[in-house]
């Protein structure tokens, strides 16, 4: 019997498996695909996801294989200068193909002891008060205390639990593929630049080895979601650019829509949802992969605490309470962006107005913080303005802050030298740094780096420790 079975071996499921194993949770990932895909569905990591990798000591692996960008265009393709003085030590987007992200996260999960079974599809489940029985496609059954569905927008887990998935169906489809072209790079770049003046859902980007990532609007919406043909790509490229660039030798062709849906709950008993199983939306702004990784980062330590037996009442339910509103906001901003990508007169007028507003740096800052998730503040109730926000990396006497968070434990940063976490020392680390440039006397960080308490009063601190880290264990 496992503690947790994770259905789906994409970035969300792999990140969750790594987080669970960091706390010693017996974790199995079941993935229906026999081999990792080489197709580039997502192109990079946003600032909050970069911070997450740094918090767990993984960032150097990603930086070695990615490329840093500080460019505009992340909101509806409106190209504006990057805002200055963003509240992060990682003010860039990291370009890295999804297959590389998947591989690095799989390596991390495996290093920590997670088991990954490929070619193993979840086809059904049943749960009781003690756990979940998972039914696999080969007839085998597995048992776990909890199941997390990270199995994509058509989630078998979500459907089996009867969790509603309200929203809007696809109204617009886009073709996406990896093809070779005979046109020269200069010709491709010139034509793409001209077409994108009026059609933002169009593009060709080099992938290496002669292949290009090709994005072009589809002629309509197909109900069967069959993969497009090379002829369909050629026809649509000619319709928008006047040329198909000599496109040939496709190694992957797909289509995606603008369907926008959000699960009405992220938990049904001992079953939880994360990533695309919980929310789907258009890929505008490149938020999907990042949103899933951030779901896993929020859920991992809470589920581990529940399994370890020290979670305070209601801790696991804060996963839905915190992440559901974040996903709702992402769905709304992608809805807005899709409108701004339209070639109709009304949306074009709104786009022109927003472009004028983005001349103001505060507007650009607000939008980039929204897209890259560094502006998120969870609702921890009334109190200091920092409560619920994640803490950026800062230099301390001992080390960088994020270097102290690799173990995934809570952390008290004490600038007074007069506080204590003694009765929670098995769950919370304690760092005295009276010379630190902290904005408050002391702060308590959750394992995901969000600020759970600020102040200098020991009794108030003990209350916060009990709220997030359970009952004290005197004498430990």
Q: Are 472 and 466 in contact (CB under 8 A)?
A: yes
List, for residues 301-314, the tens digit of each pLDDT value: 999 999 999 999 99
Give 42's pLDDT tier (boundaries 50, 70, 90).
confident
Q: What is the per-residue pLDDT for 475?
A: 60
Counting residues of the chain whose pLDDT is more than 70, the rounded percentage is 99
Kindly list the structural domains of the chain, giving each domain's residue range(s) and its CATH number in brackets, ordered by start.
Answer: 2-167+261-372 (3.50.50.60), 173-257 (3.30.70.2450), 401-469 (3.40.30.120)
Q: What is the per-residue pLDDT for 105?
A: 98
Rounded distance, CA 70 to CA 78, Å?
A: 14
List, for residues 109-136, the tens digit of each pLDDT value: 999 999 999 999 999 999 999 999 999 9
Q: Are 273 and 295 in contact (CB under 8 A)?
A: no
**Of 80, 53, 21, the residue nearest 360 (C-alpha):** 80
Say if residue 72's pLDDT is above 80: no
Q: What is the per-residue pLDDT for 398?
A: 84
Question: Distances in Å between the alpha carbon of 56 and those of 11, 327, 425?
Answer: 15, 23, 20
Give 431's contacts (C-beta < 8 A, 6+ positions apart).
396, 398, 404, 411, 412, 413, 414
The mean-pLDDT minimum among 145-154, 195-204, 302-311, 467-476 falls in 467-476
Widest pairwise Cα distance in the chain: 76
The mean-pLDDT minimum among 54-68, 212-226, 324-338, 408-422 falls in 212-226
Q: Are 27 and 72 in contact (CB under 8 A)?
A: no
Calculate the CA 39 to chain-centre distance. Answer: 18
List, for residues 174-213, the tens digit of each pLDDT value: 999 999 999 999 999 999 999 998 888 899 999 888 899 9
Q: What is the per-residue pLDDT for 70?
A: 86
Spell out the SS3 assignment of the chain: CEEEEEECCCHHHHHHHHHHHHCCCCEEEEECCCCCCCCCCCCEECHHHHHHHHHCCCHHHHHCCCEEECCCCCCCCCCCCCCCCCCCCCCCEEECCHHHHHHHHHHHHHHCCCEEEECCCEEEEEECCCCEEEEECCCCEEEEEEEEECCCCCCHHHHHCCCCCCEECCCCEEEEEEEECCCCHHHHHHHHHHHCCCCCCCEEEEEECCEEEEEEECCCCCCCCCCCCHHHHHHHHHHHHCCCCCCEEEEEEEEEECCEEECCCCEECCEEECHHHCEECCCCCCCHHHHHHHHHHHHHHHHHHHHHCCCCCCCCCHHHHHHHHHHHHHHHHHHHHHHHCCCCHHHHHHHHHHHHHCCCHHHHHHHHHHHHCCCCECCCCCCCCCCCEECCCCECCCCEHHHHHCCCCEEEEECCCCCCCHHHCCCEEEEECCCCCCCCCEEEECCCCEEEEECCCHHHHHHHHHHHHCCCCCCC
Calculate the CA 179 to chain-centre distance. Answer: 27
185-195 vs 230-241: helix crossing angle, rounded to 10? 60
Give 36's pLDDT tier (boundaries 50, 70, 90).
confident
Rounded distance, CA 474 to CA 476, Å?
A: 6
Rounded distance, CA 237 to CA 188, Å?
A: 12
Q: What is the per-residue pLDDT for 473?
A: 86
Supply 438's token pair. Answer: 């902290």
Measured in Å, how far apart are the chain's first and last C-alpha atoms? 30
List, for residues 229-263, the tens digit of each pLDDT value: 999 999 999 999 999 999 999 999 999 889 999 99
Say if residue 476's pLDDT is above 60: no
Give 291's pLDDT tier (boundaries 50, 70, 90).
very high
Counting residues of the chain whose pLDDT is more than 90, the rounded percentage is 86
Q: What is the per-residue pLDDT for 59?
A: 98
Q: What is the per-residue pLDDT for 406?
A: 98
**Of 407, 410, 427, the residue nearest 309 (C-alpha):** 427
Q: What is the per-residue pLDDT for 209?
A: 86
The alpha carbon dihedral of 138, 144, 150, 154 has a sign of positive
Q: Are 387 and 451 in contact (CB under 8 A)?
A: yes
């Amino acid at each position: 019997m496992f503690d947790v079975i994770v259905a789906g071996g994409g970035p969300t499921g792999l990140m969750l498996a790594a987080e669970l194993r960091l706390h010693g949770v017996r974790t199995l990932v079941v993935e229906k695909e026999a081999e990792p895909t080489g197709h580039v569905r997502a192109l990079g990591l946003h600032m909050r996801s970069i911070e997450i990798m740094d918090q767990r000591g993984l960032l150097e692996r990603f930086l070695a294989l990615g490329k840093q960008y500080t460019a505009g265009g992340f909101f509806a393709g409106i190209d504006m200068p990057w805002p200055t003085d963003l509240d992060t030590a990682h003010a860039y987007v990291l370009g890295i193909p999804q297959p590389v992200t998947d591989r690095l996260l799989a390596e991390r999960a495996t290093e920590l002891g997670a088991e990954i079974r490929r070619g193993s599809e979840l086809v059904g489940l049943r749960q009781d008060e003690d756990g979940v029985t998972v039914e696999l496609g080969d007839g085998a059954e597995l048992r776990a205390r909890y199941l997390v569905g990270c199995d994509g927008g058509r989630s078998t887990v979500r459907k089996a639990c009867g969790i509603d998935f309200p929203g809007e169906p696809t109204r617009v489809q886009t073709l996406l593929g990896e093809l070779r072209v005979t046109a020269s790079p200069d010709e491709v770049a010139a034509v793409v630049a001209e077409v994108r003046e009026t059609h933002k859902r169009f593009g060709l980007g080099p992938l290496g080895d002669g292949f290009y990532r090709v994005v072009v609007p589809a002629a309509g919406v197909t109900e069967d979601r069959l993969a497009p043909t090379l002829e369909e790509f050629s026809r649509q490229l000619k319709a928008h650019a006047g040329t198909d660039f000599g496109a040939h030798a496709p190694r992957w062709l797909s289509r995606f829509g603008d369907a926008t849906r959000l699960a009405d709950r992220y938990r049904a008993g001992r079953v939880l949802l994360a990533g695309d199983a919980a929310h789907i939306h258009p890929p505008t702004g490149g938020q999907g992969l990042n949103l899933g990784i951030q779901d896993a980062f929020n859920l991992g330590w809470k589920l581990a605490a529940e399994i370890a037996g020290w979670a305070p009442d209601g801790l696991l339910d804060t996963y839905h309470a915190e992440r559901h509103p974040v996903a709702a906001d992402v769905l709304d901003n992608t809805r807005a962006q899709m409108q701004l990508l339209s070639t109709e007169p009304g949306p074009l007028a709104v786009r022109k107005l927003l472009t004028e507003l983005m001349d103001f740096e505060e507007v650009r800052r607000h939008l980039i913080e929204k897209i890259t998730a560094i502006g998120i503040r969870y609702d921890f109730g009334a109190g200091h303005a920092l409560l619920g926000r994640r803490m950026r990396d800062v230099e301390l006497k001992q080390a960088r802050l994020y270097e102290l968070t690799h173990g995934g434990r809570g952390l008290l940063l004490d600038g007074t030298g007069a506080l204590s976490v003694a009765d929670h020392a098995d769950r919370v680390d304690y760092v005295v740094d009276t010379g630190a440039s902290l904005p408050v006397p002391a702060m308590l960080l959750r394992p995901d780096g969000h600020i759970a308490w600020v102040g200098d009063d020991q009794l108030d601190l003990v209350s916060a420790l009990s709220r997030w880290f359970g009952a004290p264990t005197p004498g430990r």
